[in-house]
Structure 1
């Protein structure tokens, strides 16, 4: 399945590259390849936008229903059948499917992994010819070759870590949870950016560029979602 999506996304990247390379003159600082990665990442995120919005809505509803869920669990802790029936009734009343969150993640994961593989092996999925790939300019800003890791740790690795932290922070801002869950979330908000920073130091810069642009898109998207889904809290009361 990864190869299937990889060929599709590789074709998309090649289409964008051909389009970009047909316009104007290539800059020494902004290669067609680097610009194509940015534009393809944005297009890729736009394609996943309906799924992401549904996931955010599902998460928001689940968060708002937590007090009622916990109340039902306490009240019927010795009667599992009634507890399950009451929970299903609550979900139905609020138009919520408890399996939707997992299903959405299962849909997104192979697609994201496929795009990751496209940028790790652009000859196979995008250009099909190593001579063509070797001939293109792969520099971008201070990075001489997007096929290689960023030579500066303060560059894309740092941006990847910072944008990951901001994205994680935004996604957890409106989550009401118990102290233990909040403690776990805080640890994730710290360790995940560190892991991304460490990985980005050795990954091809093209992947790091994709990660940074994707995070920036997700941050803007989350800001909009946090405002647009404000009515859900009223609907679930």
Structure 2
């Protein structure tokens, strides 16, 4: 499965590279390879968009029934079996599958890993011939070679961390959780960007570029969805 997806996304990246490299003269500080990574990342995110929208709808639905869940938990706090049965009845009544979030992540994970592998090993998945890959320009503004790590921590590593933090905050903005879960969520919102920063300063800059572009896409998408959700709540009031 991973090899198949790797070949699929590798072929997509090569197709995009061939298209952008045919538009004319290559800019001095912005290689066709960097353009291809950016464009392919956007296409990749568009492919995953229906899954992301389904995940957001699932989150909205659980937020709607969260007060009722808390009510059941308080009412049957001394009877765990009845509490669980009542919660499952509530899920069924509102046509909500608590496993849907996990299923969505399971679908996304192999796709993300496959695209990650494509960018980590472009010779195998994209260009096939090492000589062809070596011959192309791989610069991106201050980065002379996207197959090497960014020489500056304030560059893509910092952008990767900042965009990850913003994305995490936006994704959890409308999620209703209990105080204990909220504390864990806040820790993750800080820990994850730090982890991404550490990874981005070590991995090839092409991967960091993919991560930053993907995050920006997600941020714009989440802003639009959060705004739409806010309008719906206002209309309900």
Q: Which runs of 5+ in 2 are unaligned?
A: none
Q: Report the alpha carbon displacement of residue 80 of structure 1 after superposing the two structures with TM.
A: 5.2
What pairs with 1:75-224 in structure 2 (closer than 5 Å)?
75-77=75-77, 79=79, 82-224=82-224
Mean alpha-carbon deviation: is it higher for 181-190 or for 7-16? 181-190
Post-superposition CA distance 1:46-100 (Å, at most 9, x none): 0000000000111121123222112223323455554444323322332311111
- Contact between 1:119 and 1:207, CA under 8 Å: does it hold in 2? yes
- For the structure 1 residues 169 and 105, does the alpha-carbon distance in structure 2 shift closer, same or farther, using more than 3 Å as the test? same
Root-mean-square deviation (CA, aligned residues, Å) is 2.0
* Residue matched to 1:17: 17
- Equivalent position of 1:50 in the other structure: 50
TM-score (norm 1): 0.93
- In the alignment, the residues of structure 2 paired with residue 14 and residue 5 of structure 1 have an alpha-carbon distance, to the nearest angstrom, of 14
1:12: how far off?
0.5
Distance 2:92 2:129 in 1: 53
Distance 2:141 2:11 in 1: 25
Cα distance in 2 for residues equivalent to 1:9 and 1:26:
23
Q: Contact conserved, 1:10 with 1:118, CA < 8 A, in 2?
A: yes
CA 1:232–1:108: 2 relative to 1, 3 Å: farther
> Residues 64 and 233 of structure 1 are in contact (CA less than 8 Å); yes or no, is this contact kept in structure 2?
no
Give the match for residue 72 of structure 1. Answer: 72
Question: Aligned partners of 1:235, 1:90: CA distance in 2, in Å?
Answer: 25
Cα distance between partner residues in 2 of 1:201 and 1:211:
12
Distance 1:82 1:114 in 2: 43
- Aligned residue-pair number: 237
What is the CA-CA distance between 1:236 and the residue it aligns to? 11
Tell which deviates more after alignment, 47-56 or 79-88: 79-88
Q: Which runs of 5+ in 1 are unaligned?
A: none
* Contact 1:41-1:214 within 8 A present in 2 as well: yes
